[in-house]
Amino acid sequence: MIQILAPLARRSLALLLPVAAALFLFAPQPARAAYPCPGGPGPGEVQVGVSGGSHGIAAVPLCESTGGGGGGGGGGGVYYRYGAIAWHPDASDVWMEGSYDGPVTAERTALAACNRAMGGGCTSIGEWHNSSMMILRDRSGSLWSAWHGDGGVHSKKSQADCSARQLLPCEVLGTFSSSKNRHYAKASARKLYAAAAWVEGSEGFDGRLYIASGHRETAAAQRLALDACTAATRQRCALVALTGNGFIQTYMLGDNDQSATFETSARRAAQAAQANCKKRGQRCTLQRAFDSRIPGQFVHDFAAAAAK
């Protein structure tokens, strides 16, 4: 359990009930006490470094509270509203706390809520004030963060970097203002993973895809998919897909090229397959899509599906 060691900062607005929305990211995280401070430190703050520069997150100044002057008044009638986001790699949504008139508390509160829901293992992207943070989701269900201030230049770069790795643009899960009271992930945000494997290379390829789905851990889904492929073919097998709370789409690229892709929804998975066919100038024939949340071991036979 995370204990709050300092008095709670006052909320500037009454708390709202948690609302549902649409979650993984493995970008470097700022220190817990530091938060983005675009434009440099304000009253009661000191700059301690910069964050960003990887996973599409541009460099932004980082500040810490000095313990004084960090209340609601910012001098010259400027008021600071602090927000923070916590997340977990096995959740497809985030925990956000905001509208605090001082630093530190929003981050501690968001982390505590995330850890209660997920049983520990949550991290924070740090606090920020008087601006917004954008959360993106890539095709595997992983999350990226991007500061949305400064005219959106940083979030646009993050979107471009994330989207460059896949067939469709990354989704915008949400844009969270530091003045927003609260957003908590639903229980359904806990990911269930699916992995798919087939014979590596063309020699010994049996025209089948082996899928293991409905697993709480990525390692379990990957191991079971590979084991099923190896046991059936006695060949060396390779993983071709992994998604959390998403879909694996099988399809034919042209007449003979068996293919599979994955995305965060059945619609996006089909669109990704069609985008790949269009990119290659080939006819596209969609076959079965597998939902990672449905538990089971499945074998997809491309030739049999094409014959129907």
pLDDT by residue (tens digit) across 264-293? 999 999 999 999 999 999 999 999 999 999
Domain C-terminal end among 171, 189, 207: 189
Residue-level pLDDT at 29: 36
Which residue in 140, 158, 152 sits closest to 54, CA to CA? 158
**Residue 49 domain flag:** yes
Contacts of 259 (CB under 8 A, 6+ apart): 250, 251, 252, 253, 273, 276
3-class SS at 75?
Answer: coil
Q: Which domain holds residue 109?
A: 35-189
Region for residue 53 given its phi and psi (left: phi exceeds 0; alpha: psi -120 to 50; beta: otherwise): left
- Residue 256's pLDDT band, with cuts at 50, 70 and 90, is confident
Residue with the bigger pLDDT between 19 and 202: it is 202
Task: Note whether 149 and 281 are same-domain residues.
Answer: no
Residue with the bigger pLDDT between 308 and 275: it is 275
Task: Note whether 181 and 200 are same-domain residues.
Answer: no
**Residue 5 domain flag:** no
3-class SS at 72?
Answer: coil
**Residue 245 domain flag:** yes
Domain C-terminal end among 132, 162, 189: 189
Task: Note whether 114 and 137 are same-domain residues.
Answer: yes
3-class SS at 143?
Answer: strand
Task: Note whether 99 and 227 are same-domain residues.
Answer: no
**Residue 16 domain flag:** no
Domain C-terminal end among 155, 173, 189: 189
Task: Note whether 257 and 164 are same-domain residues.
Answer: no
Task: Note whether 147 and 170 are same-domain residues.
Answer: yes
Instruction: Determine the Cα–Cα distance for residues 4 and 9; give it in Å rounded to an integer.
Output: 11
Q: Which two tokens stand for residue 218?
A: 């990525």
Residue with the bigger pLDDT between 32 and 303: it is 303
**What tens digit of pLDDT does each residue of 96-140 get?**
999 999 889 999 999 999 999 999 999 998 888 898 999 999 999
Residue 34 has pLDDT above 80, yes or no: no
Residue 59 has pLDDT above 90, yes or no: no
